[in-house]
Amino acid sequence: MNESRKILPILFLHFALGFAACAVWAFTRGLDVDLLSPFVFAYRFRSAVIAFIGLLPTLTISGFLMGYSISFRAVAGEAVGRWSDTLLTVLKHAYILMLACLALYAVFAEGISPALTSRQKQAVVLTKDFKEYMRAARRFVDDSQPALAVVPTRAALQVWPGNKEALYLLDQIGYKQAEGAGGSDAKGRVRTASEEAVIREASGLTVLEALDKAIEADKKNDYFNAHYYASLAARLAPTTDPNHDVAVRLAAQAWNRVSEGHDRIQSRAEADLYGIKRDGYKAIGNQDYLRAYYIFLELREAELATNDRLGDPDVERFLEISRKGVLESFFFIDETASIKIFESSRDVFFVIRHPDGSADAVFASGITYTSHSGTDMAYLRGFEFASFDRNLGLRYQISVPYAKMVASTSGAKGSARPEILLRSVDRNREGVDVVPAVIAGAVPESERNILMLSMDYRDFSLLVEANRGPDSMSVMDLWNFVPKAESYGFSRKTFNLELIRRLVDPFLLLILSVCALILGWQFRLGKSVMFKFWWIFTVPVFPVLSYLAVEGVRYVSRLCNGALIALLPSYPLIPVLLALVVCFLGVSLAFFSQRSE
């Protein structure tokens, strides 16, 4: 006999009715969150799918219970002994069906459900953002500051493209700007030299290559480049390398030529230009890239304004070099314009406990992940940081509206660490900086612009997930985070409990399915008892009671897991899995050992 095949229609009927019930619930209930109208349908549909996934175990157990209770009617009159082949066959087929249902549930619960939940949260956040952008834009328009209203209006339109109100507001802003109320033309703004600068790949030269380039430039009388590459070769080569001395000599020679060049120039204008270039170059040499950047930017803009846009190659090259140098220590203020809508997490808080007893507290109001030229980075809005010494006295506390985080591999251990750039500068105007506000204590010179967090860069994304709560983390993330939870201020027990809960859930459902099989056998329909029509009305009772059973068993399992974690904090998983295997074997044997009464 193959009861498993017979129960399939009942199982599918359960799934179909379950999804229908979830859809009715999702589309008829009042929304408990504020949503923009384009998000409502998708939100409700996702709610239905999430609810259905949550109910899947209940529906499976209910389907098993009801289906097997009815299908066992076929053997109700037969004498079935203990350990019979009949029951073994049933158990074998039931296992296959259970595993198929569990696999389906695991894929849904661990793959689809978290993604949908994340989309749900994003819809709520975007709605909030849209309203805030519109509110801010209206306020700027009312205050006759249309230029400032452009960014929030455009951000609002990114959230809800085609929103009539936002489009109307944008038109209004355009009219107001056209009237000459003030501010720059947001639509037809002239691109600055810095924006036109071509982003080039990092050189990645070897000592010999840099030396070759220096010699080549020297031959062409391009002494700035000759000095630059010779200096680079000198930096790259160790002092024991004979090339180091050659590079130093070549750099000195080139610099003498640069210095001589100024004296040879007869025209005053050319002499001034040459002097400025030399100052900029000196700044690069001193690694004062910010100063060099503004010097070469000014030169480039002057060239663009006067010439036919054919720039001095020296200026272009050194502008690019200084820009790259600037971006190693700073970031541009305009990078953070309207990135708030792309924030993936908010209100992230954690502490870092160091082995020497010192600690740091880190907070970010919002985090936006992005990547540039294959490098992952993140912008941290409302970044706040407090550092404590080994006696846990407050060293300093700072706060900055935006910080930029990149992975830094410099330093020991080889693993990447989060490097936080705290100071943002204006792309075009010198002196317009956003620096961290010092709330308490004194910030050491080395940590004023760049903060290096003493943690693995990969842990940062784990911490972001942990802040959302253990239930929103994937099993792999939980697995990686549990051993580190304590060092970041999170309860290891809570995350361990969640990890074990997620790992044991399929086993629990498997055990419950076998229990349903046992109940189906023990309370099977009589041989000659016809299924009465009115019994159909009792069908909803089965999923309800299955739900109570599933949730009850899950709760009991959580209690047991909590006790095991308290008893064996280091290795709680092994006894839990052992207990589950014993339970599973126990219920399987209990089914197999049944007989007809």
Partner 1 sequence: MKNSLMVPVAFLANLLLWSALAAFFSVLSSSSFVLFLSAGKFVPILIELLWNAVKYLPFAILVSLLFTLMYLMRHKTLFFVSIPVVLGIAFASVVWLIPLSYAGLGRLSGAHADVNRLEGLLNETTPYIGHIQRTGNQARIVWLSESAGGRVVGPLVAVRQRASEEDTERAVTVYKNARFSAKAMTVTTDNAGASSSGDYTLQNGASGSGTYGRPRFISAGIDGISSVLDGFSAARSRGTRDFYLVVGSFMLAVLSLAFISRATGWRLLNLLFSCAFFSVFFILYRFTCSGPFFDLLMRFLPSSIPARLISPFLYAAFAALVCLVGSLIGLWRLTHRSKYPPMDGVYHE
Where on the chain is the footprint of partner 1 (CB under 8 A)?
65-66, 69, 73, 76-77, 128-129, 132, 135-136, 340, 347, 349-351, 353, 359, 361, 363, 365, 382, 384, 386, 388, 392-394, 397, 399, 401, 439-440, 486, 489-491, 493-494, 497, 519-520, 522-529, 531-532, 535, 538, 541-542, 545, 548, 551-552, 555-556, 558-560, 562-563, 566-567, 597
Contact 211, 230 (CB under 8 A): yes
Amino acid at the residue 51? A
Alpha helices in 384-482 (DSSP H): 457-468, 475-481
Round to whole Å and give the CA distance between 325 and 422.
15
> How would you class 523 by CB atoms within 10 Å of its CB: exposed for 0-12, middle for 13-18, buried for 19 or more?
exposed
Closest distance to partner 1 from the beta carbon of 343 (Å): 10
Neighbouring residues of 162: CB distance < 8 A, sequence distance ≥ 6: none
Taking the least distance from each CB to partner 1, the nearer of 489 and 575 is 489
Min dist. Cβ of residue 492 to partner 1 (A):
9
Q: Is 202 helix (H, G, I), strand (E, B) or coil?
A: coil
Residues 6+ apart with CB under 8 A from 426: 332, 333, 334, 432, 433
**322 or 387, CB closer to partner 1?**
387
Task: Using the minimum distance from each CB to partner 1, give the nearer residue, 361 or 450.
Answer: 361
Distance in Å, CB of 104 to partner 1, minimum:
24
Tokens of 337: 């314009």
Closest CA to 299 of 317, 282, 286, 287: 317
Give the H/E segment covering residue 134.
Answer: helix 113-142
Distance CA 3, CA 43 (A): 39
Q: Cα-flanking dihedrals φ and ψ of residue 200, to 5°?
A: -110, 165
Of 227 and 524, CB closest to partner 1: 524
CB of 489 to partner 1, least distance (A): 5
Cβ neighbour number for residue 116 with a 10 Å cutoff: 20
CB 44 within 8 A of CB 26: yes
Rounded Cα distance, 33 and 14, in Å: 30
DSSP 247-292: HHHHHHHHHHHHHHHHHH--SHHHHHHHHHHHHHHHHHHTT-HHHH
Least spacing, CB of residue 327 vs partner 1, in Å: 26
- Smallest separation, CB 236 to partner 1 (Å): 42
Between 344 and 428, whose beta carbon lies closer to partner 1?
Answer: 344
Looking only at the bridges linking them, the beta strands covering 331-332 and 424-425 are parallel
Minimal distance, residue 238 CB to partner 1, in Å: 43
Q: How far is the CB of 213 from partner 1 (least distance, A)?
A: 49
Taking Cα atoms as reference points, which of 382, 407, 406, 403 lies closest to residue 333?
A: 403
* Of residues 51 and 66, the one with the C-beta less far from partner 1: 66
Rounded to a whole number of angstroms, the minimum distance from the CB of residue 387 to partner 1 is 10
Q: How far is the CB of 28 from partner 1 (least distance, A)?
A: 22
How far is residue 238 CA from its own chain's centroid? 40
Q: Given the complex with partner 1, which of 275 and 540 has the nearer CB atom?
A: 540
In contact, 500 and 561? CB cutoff 8 Å: yes
**C-beta of 131 vs 257, nearer to partner 1:** 131
Q: Residue 231 belongs to what H/E stretch? A: helix 223-236
Q: Given the complex with partner 1, which of 214 and 352 has the nearer CB atom?
A: 352
Q: How many CB atoms lie under 10 A from the CB of residue 1?
A: 14
In the complex with partner 1, the residue whose CB is nearer, 290 or 380, is 380
Min CB(421)–partner 1 separation in Å? 19
Which single residue is written with the structure tokens 């295997």? 581
Of the pair 437, 578, the CB lying nearest partner 1 is at: 437
Give the tokens for residue 541: 């009772």
